[in-house]
């Protein structure tokens, strides 16, 4: 039986229409949280919320938002707090990639788009949620979904690994600045989980970790649930790598 260690919590989950974000939202709901299911596509958000509510009645409210637009993020956060009856958590799980591009081939528009959606949106969502929690005196949590691409260089992308690397610094800086308000900030980093970034369909990818199986969205969801709970009440400013040892396996012998 799943422990209801998030009972009474009100948590926004961005990118919750599918893949990791959807499973994170479902896991938080199973543990007693009320969740705002945020996606760019309103239909996708509604479908994801309906699936969660079928399993955990009245746990999810669907919302649409362009997280790369700071004004829309501010609107969404204010509305989510009202619709959920409170706000004390954020899980940010939105990214796009420039797969196939290098420093020689990427253009300005794609560079800007990847940074805006993958990095800037983390600031926009965390800032809006942080302001709301400080305003209400709420000691909550912020969790960002990272990537092992933030740790190692890639030959087939440039903007995405830069965005994820900068995201690690952003998490640590926000933890430092929000700590005095009782707000914990962390990230959870997967490797090759679910469908590839920007793709809706699952496809085979080679196993490159030490566990010998593919990372599943549930693996990430459980880690997010832990770091969002009071069981992790003394953890802030760190990245929890949930990659089956993929980063270790990249070492040069």
Burial of residue 55, with CB atoms counted within 10 A of its CB: 0-12 exposed, 13-18 middle, 19 or more buried: exposed
In angstroms, the CA 230 to CA 128 distance is 22
> Would residue 160 show up in a list of annotated catalytic residues for this protein?
yes
- How many C-beta atoms surround the C-beta of residue 69 within 10 A? 15
**Phi, psi angles (nearest 5°) of residue 145:** -90, 120
Instruction: Supply the DSSP symbol for 96.
Output: -
Tokens of 25: 């939202």
Q: Which residue out of 120, 124, 151, 160 is catalytically annotated?
A: 160
- Asked if 56 and 37 touch (Cβ cutoff 8 Å), the reply is no
Greatest Cα pair distance, the chain, in angstroms, is 54
Under 8 Å CB-to-CB from 120, ≥6 apart: which residues? 68, 70
Question: Strand ranges (DSSP E) for 34-129?
Answer: 34-39, 60-64, 89-92
How would you label 217-244 residue by residue, b for 16+ Cβ within 10 Å and e otherwise? Answer: bebbbbbbbbbbbeebeeebbbbbbbbb
Catalytic residues: 160
């Amino acid at each position: 039986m799943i422990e209801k260690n998030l009972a009474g919590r009100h948590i926004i989950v961005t990118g919750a229409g599918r893949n990791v974000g959807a499973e994170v939202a479902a896991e938080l709901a199973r543990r007693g949280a009320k969740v705002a299911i945020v996606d760019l596509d309103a239909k996708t958000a509604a479908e994801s919320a309906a699936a969660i509510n079928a399993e955990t009645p009245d746990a999810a409210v669907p919302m649409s938002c362009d997280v790369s637009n700071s004004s829309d993020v501010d609107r969404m956060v204010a509305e989510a707090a009202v619709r959920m009856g409170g706000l004390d958590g954020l899980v940010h799980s939105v990214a796009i990639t420039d797969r196939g591009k290098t420093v020689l081939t990427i253009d300005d528009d794609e560079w800007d788009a990847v940074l805006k959606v993958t990095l800037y949106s983390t600031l926009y969502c965390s800032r809006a949620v942080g302001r709301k929690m400080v305003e209400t005196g709420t000691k909550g949590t912020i969790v960002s979904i990272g990537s092992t691409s933030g740790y190692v260089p890639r030959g087939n992308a440039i903007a995405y690994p830069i965005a994820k690397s900068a995201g690690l610094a952003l998490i640590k800086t926000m933890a430092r600045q929000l700590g005095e308000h009782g707000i914990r900030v962390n990230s959870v980093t997967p490797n090759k989980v679910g469908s590839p970034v920007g793709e809706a369909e699952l496809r085979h990818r080679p196993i490159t970790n030490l566990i010998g199986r593919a990372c599943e969205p549930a693996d990430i969801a459980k880690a997010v649930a832990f770091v969002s709970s009071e069981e992790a009440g003394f953890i802030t400013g760190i990245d929890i790598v949930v990659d089956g040892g993929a980063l270790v396996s990249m070492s040069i012998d």
